[in-house]
Amino acid sequence: MENKKVLIVEDDQAIIKPMVLLFGKKRIATLTAANAEEGLLIAYRDAPDLILLDILMPKIDGFMMLEKLKSDEKTKNIPVFIISNLGSDEKIKRGMELGAKKYFIKTNWSLSDIVKSTEEELASHS
């Protein structure tokens, strides 16, 4: 998994810190952004191999970021996994329609499950 980069766009440090540690153990580089605006700048600049995206964030939400990513030539093919507390069928459907590859409801998945799923996705593109 060396040379793979994952961008974590999440405003909760209690989620970011353990994820960065878990990815580090798997030798996957991580980039982090505390909001979607910062996440977009990093995505355009660093072209990560996968993006983990929260929905509820200050300024612009994750859905808006996902729309922008998928409408830009440079970022449209980057797989995006949504990680959110919003678990209604309507929100999941919207995320998938906007181009998310997977949708994880935070309370239903452990961070290690999300890291494992990310690893599998990265391996399928190497």
48's tokens: 């990560």
- pLDDT tens digits, one per residue of 35-77: 999 999 999 999 999 999 999 988 899 999 999 999 999 999 9
17's tokens: 């810190």
Rounded to two decimals, the pTM is 0.96
d(CA 122, CA 3): 11
- pLDDT tens digits, one per residue of 72-85: 999 999 999 999 99
Q: pLDDT value at position 126?
A: 65
User: What class does CATH assign to 5-113?
Assistant: alpha beta
